[in-house]
Amino acid sequence: MSTVILLALTGLGLAALYFLVASGLSLVFGLADVLNFAHGLFLGVGAYATWWASGNLPGAGPDGFGFVLAVAFGVAAGVLVAVLVELVLIRPLYSRTIEQVLVTVGLSLAGVALLQATWGADARPFPRPGWTRQVTGILGANVPNAGLLLIVAAAVVLGALLAFLRWTRYGLVIRAGVENREMVTALGIDVRRAFTLVFAIGGAAAALAGALGGVYFGTVSPGQGGSLLIFAFIVVVIGGMGSVVGSAYAAVAVGLLQQFVNYYGPSGLGDVCVVALLAVVLLLRPQGFAGKVATA
Amino acid sequence: MTGSMVEAPPAHVPDELTPGRSRWPGLRPYLPLVALAVAAIVPYSTVNLPGIFEGPLNSPGTLQLLAVCLVFGGLAAGYDLLFGRTGMLSFGHALYFAAGVYGTDILVTRAGLPLWQAALLTITGGTVLAALLGAVALRTVGIAFAMVTLAFAQVGAILVARDFGGLTGGEEGLPLDVSGLPAALVGVTNTVNLYWLALAYLAVVVFVVHRVSGSPTGRVLAGLRDDERRIGVLGLDPYLFKLLAFTLAGGLAAAAGVVYCLIVGGASPHVTSSELTLSLLVMVVLGGPGTRWGPVLGGILYMYLDHRLTAFGSSETVDALPAVLSRPLSQPLFVLGTVFILAVYFFPGGLAGLRTRLAPLTRTLSRRPDRRS
């Protein structure tokens, strides 16, 4: 029984990581039709900025409030990069989908190479608070605290995103834009400002995923974003593009499936099962769990 | 969905149909043959090109680099059959290439088959694999199609990396067992034969892609790229034609894998990575999607630069620069990625479109002496 609880909670930790990456991807795709291959770069930027800040930024450090400050710095860096990418690279190619994909592909190649050039290709130990290395006993299972931290962070982000989408004016614009962009434009609302906003939100969530993923894995390396990104894409497609709630459900399904099958079956079979799930969902319900709707 | 949104390159008229303004109009159709002949006799030349290649042209190192470039030229041309000519954005092409590489390697090294049987089985297997996976993936369109192909390719990467059944050698890769191979393909002195093999592969791919795109089927594929719904209205089944293109491209990629496995002498897991597909995309876009020579040139140039920029990055000229510049420049992918982004903005037609883009410039340049005289 304790094994099942442990697997469920670590699976949820993985799901939280996927959700943090996928929610931004999903919103960006739903609203702006940009399949963002550079999202892994935002994650890398967040991880490396946190890592850098905890060593160099005055006041920041690997413990306590210093760690919060370091993560905040990482998230700010992710937002900055995401907004710059949107303004400088994506905006001139507005409504030219393929070119946008190509640019983000080039950016992901060049950006990861730049991270690698600056900090080396090898994984670096990530500064993490002492308590994240310990375990908490829940119903007889010893669950690593880093996983619990991820679950809490993802739940907070999910709640904040839903509240933002439901109760603010910009949330309304984003929801409407996902559903029918032309209509929103016709009503005289500048949707492009909402594009920048969703990129910023996505960048923040991805950077947070990078920072907390660093805590979870204990190391940070340039290629980390890329491998997470593929599963995040799968989560987005299964959940339905543009739906935050769909992404959350899909992330939980994917994380649990992967964790359980990898434990009980041969290692690696879980990853294969996830792809099989994707194929089944696409064949039976091509629009994903929740379709292209960003409401709750 | 994407099919209709693609900013497709304008419907392409084959070069030989446009009245040539070149100096020797009669020679133009034979230029590819001339290029092929020149490429075929390159190994007999001992010309030393310092700065471009490390050794003389006929040294094994140079020939191996050239052979890899040629294979990737062919692979890019095959990928262009999907991306440039049919408008399908597949992110999983690396899978079929990797199937070729690992298929040959495993059949020769683990099963001990003679090379010709292994090659035949591998190419057939790669084609069947492409047909099966394509049949599923093509149920979706546009971005979802890209995602599904990406996910399938990821399964390939996982299978290879996790080394199920101890077949693939996992992270370390699987060196090719050369004892059963024909003697002409083994050893450093025989690199020239591998070079010719790669050249032959490239010629076959260019021929096949050219014939397909010139045939009625090719016109349908171009129609699918430009307006898929209209092809449906005309009573043709888009699904079947797309599956045909996907299968053919997969078979060509598997053949590329066979040749690549022989040139490199083994398989390593990086051929399964999604980065390989992304670099194929870069090659095609840099060269010029939907053109006959663009993807080939793009593939050759990309692999050449990828290899040479590594040497360039560790050279003294770059090391002398301040660290801010020299470190990014030592990463080939940074340079290539940046060039790629710039190309998407400023040269959407790629290398093949350069001539038309530069036409106004050359016209003014050539007109000026006339006015003076």
Answer whether residue A292 is part of any domain.
no
* Nearest residue, CB atoms, B337 vs list A109, A267, A278: A109
Q: Using CB atoms within 10 Å of the CB of residue A194, give its burial: 0 to 12 exposed, 13 to 18 middle, 19+ buried.
A: buried
The number of folded domains in chain A is 1
What are the residues whose beta carbons fall under 8 Å from the beta carbon of B191, sequence distance 6 or more?
A: B60, B63, B64, B67
- pLDDT at residue A31 tops 90: no
* Nearest residue, CB atoms, B5 vs list A97, A112, A275: A97
At A144, give phi and psi (nearest 5°): -65, 140
Instruction: Summarize the confidence of residues B33-50 as an average pLDDT.
Output: 78
Higher-confidence residue of A286 and A9: namely: A9
Task: Give the whole-angstrom CA distance, residue B185 versus residue A14.
Answer: 48
Kindly report the nearest CA distance between residue B244 and chain A, in angstroms. Answer: 20
Mutate to test the interface with A, among B2, B158, B302 (most CBs of A within 10 A): B158
Q: Which residues of B touch A282 (CB under 8 A)?
A: 139-140, 144, 148
Task: Give the whole-angstrom CA distance, residue A179 versus residue A181.
Answer: 6
Task: Give the whole-angstrom CA distance, residue A25 versus residue A39.
Answer: 7
pLDDT at A240: 80
Look at the block and give the residue holding tokens 């390989």: B276
Q: Which residues of A touch B145 (CB under 8 A)?
A: none
Answer whether residue A279 is part of any domain.
no
Q: Which of A183, A206, A181 is nearest to A194 (CA)?
A: A181
- pLDDT at residue A292 tops 60: no
Q: Which of A197, A195, A280, A290 is nearest to A236 (CA)?
A: A290
Residues spanned by the domain of A66: 21-221
Q: Which of A91-95, A153-157, A287-291 has the highest mean pLDDT?
A: A153-157
> What CATH number did the domain enclosing B133 receive?
1.10.3470.10
- What integer best gives the mean pLDDT of chain A? 83
pLDDT at B22: 54
pLDDT at A84: 92
Instruction: Summarize the confidence of residues B190-212 as an average pLDDT.
Output: 90
Distance set, CA B230 to CA B13, B86, B227 (Å): 20, 14, 6
Contact B136 A226 (CB under 8 A): no
- For residues B84 and B291, the answer to whether their CB atoms sit within 8 Å is yes
- Contact status of B270 with chain A (Cβ, < 8 Å): no
Instruction: Summarize the confidence of residues B189-217 as an average pLDDT.
Output: 89
Task: Give the whole-angstrom CA distance, residue A127 versus residue B205.
Answer: 52
- For residues A207 and A49, the answer to whether their CB atoms sit within 8 Å is yes
Q: What residues 224-253 of chain A have any CB closer than 8 A to a CB of chain B?
A: 226, 230, 233-234, 236-237, 241
What are the residues whose beta carbons fall under 8 Å from the beta carbon of B23, sequence distance 6 or more?
A: none
Give the DSSP per-residue string, B197-255: HHHHHHHHHHHHHHHHHHSHHHHHHHHHHH-HHHHHHTT--HHHHHHHHHHHHHHHHHH
Amino acid identity of residue A139, one-letter, is L
Percentage of residues in chain B having pLDDT higher than 70: 87
Task: Give the whole-angstrom CA distance, residue A69 versus residue A50.
Answer: 9
Higher-confidence residue of A103 and B354: namely: A103
pLDDT at B259: 93
Contact B344 A103 (CB under 8 A): yes
Q: Which residues of A touch B143 (CB under 8 A)?
A: 29, 35, 97, 241
At A143, give phi and psi (nearest 5°): -100, 130
Confidence class of residue A75 from pLDDT cuts 50, 70 and 90? very high
Q: Using CB atoms within 10 Å of the CB of residue A106, give its burial: 0 to 12 exposed, 13 to 18 middle, 19+ buried.
A: buried
Helix (H) or strand (E) holding A229: helix A224-239
Task: Give the whole-angstrom CA distance, residue B241 versus residue B238.
Answer: 5
ipTM over 0.85: no
* Nearest residue, CB atoms, A230 vs list B164, B274, B345: B274
Task: Give the whole-angstrom CA distance, residue B291 versus residue B46.
Answer: 33
Q: Rounded to the nearest 10 degrees, what angle do helices B332-346 and B274-287 cross at? A: 40
Task: Give the whole-angstrom CA distance, residue B76 versus residue B68.
Answer: 12
B42: left (phi over 0), alpha (psi -120 to 50) or beta: alpha
pLDDT at A156: 92
Helix (H) or strand (E) holding B174: strand B174-175
Contact A108 B278 (CB under 8 A): yes
Helix (H) or strand (E) holding A195: helix A191-217
List pLDDT tens digits, range A231-266: 888 888 888 877 888 889 999 999 999 888 888 887
Q: Which residues of B touch A106 (CB under 8 A)?
A: 282, 337-338, 340-341, 344
List pLDDT tens digits, range B311-320: 776 766 666 6
Contact A113 B332 (CB under 8 A): yes
Q: Which residues of A touch B336 (CB under 8 A)?
A: 109-110
pLDDT at B273: 83
Instruction: Summarize the confidence of residues B139-158 as an average pLDDT.
Output: 83
- pLDDT at residue B170 tops 60: yes
Answer whether residue A158 is part of any domain.
yes
- pLDDT at residue B155 tops 60: yes
Q: Which residues of A touch B150 (CB under 8 A)?
A: 230, 233
List pLDDT tens digits, range B120-135: 999 999 999 999 999 8
pLDDT at B319: 66
Kindly report the nearest CA distance between residue A289 and chain B, in angstroms. Answer: 14
Contact B331 A275 (CB under 8 A): no
Task: Give the whole-angstrom CA distance, residue A247 versus residue A292.
Answer: 11
Q: Which of A135, A137, A134, A152 is nearest to A5 (CA)?
A: A137
| Residue length of chain A | 296
Q: Which residues of A touch B158 (CB under 8 A)?
A: 268, 271-272
Residues spanned by the domain of B26: 2-372
Helix (H) or strand (E) holding A140: none
Shortest CA distance from B162: residue in chain A: A268
- Contact status of B136 with chain A (Cβ, < 8 Å): yes
Instruction: Summarize the confidence of residues A191-214 as an average pLDDT.
Output: 88
Q: Which of A242, A243, A247, A173 is nearest to A30 (CA)?
A: A242
Shortest CA distance from B278: residue in chain A: A105
- What integer best gives the mean pLDDT of chain B? 81
* Nearest residue, CB atoms, A109 vs list B6, B140, B333: B333
Answer whether residue A226 is part of any domain.
no
Task: Give the whole-angstrom CA distance, residue A283 versus residue B148.
Answer: 11
Task: Give the whole-angstrom CA distance, residue A220 versus residue A206.
Answer: 14
At B176, give phi and psi (nearest 5°): -75, 135
Q: What residues 31-50 of chain A have any CB closer than 8 A to a CB of chain B?
A: 35, 37
Contact A233 B338 (CB under 8 A): no
Confidence class of residue A295 from pLDDT cuts 50, 70 and 90? very low
- Contact status of A105 with chain B (Cβ, < 8 Å): yes
Contact B2 A114 (CB under 8 A): no
For residue A212, the SS3 value is helix
At A141, give phi and psi (nearest 5°): -105, 140
Instruction: Summarize the confidence of residues A47-55 as an average pLDDT.
Output: 86
Answer whether residue A7 is part of any domain.
no
- Contact status of B139 with chain A (Cβ, < 8 Å): yes
The number of folded domains in chain B is 1
What is the token pair recorded at B75?
Answer: 């692979």
Task: Give the whole-angstrom CA distance, residue B342 versus residue A75.
Answer: 28
What is the token pair recorded at A154?
Answer: 């993802």
Mutate to test the interface with B, among A230, A280, A284 (most CBs of B within 10 A): A230
Shortest CA distance from A223: residue in chain B: B275
Task: Give the whole-angstrom CA distance, residue A246 versus residue B220.
Answer: 38
Instruction: Summarize the confidence of residues A55-78 as an average pLDDT.
Output: 82
pLDDT at B255: 94
Q: Which of B217, B263, B255 is nearest to B63 (CA)?
A: B263
At A93, give phi and psi (nearest 5°): -105, 25
Higher-confidence residue of B360 and B281: namely: B281
For residue B54, the SS3 value is coil
Confidence class of residue A286 from pLDDT cuts 50, 70 and 90? low
Q: Which of A137-146, B185-194, B265-274 bottoms out in mean pLDDT, i.e. has the lowest?
A: A137-146
pLDDT at B31: 81
Q: Which residues of B touch A91 (CB under 8 A)?
A: none
Helix (H) or strand (E) holding A56: helix A39-56
- pLDDT at residue A183 tops 70: yes
Answer whether residue A10 is part of any domain.
no
Answer whether residue A239 is part of any domain.
no
Output DSSP code: residue B113: -
- Contact status of B333 with chain A (Cβ, < 8 Å): yes
Q: What residues 142-201 of chain B have any CB closer than 8 A to a CB of chain A?
A: 143-144, 146-148, 150-152, 154-155, 158-159, 161-162, 164
Mutate to test the interface with B, among A26, A34, A228, A275 (most CBs of B within 10 A): A275
Distance set, CA A266 to CA A261, A270, B155, B304 (Å): 8, 8, 14, 40
Answer whether residue A291 is part of any domain.
no
- pLDDT at residue B4 tops 50: no
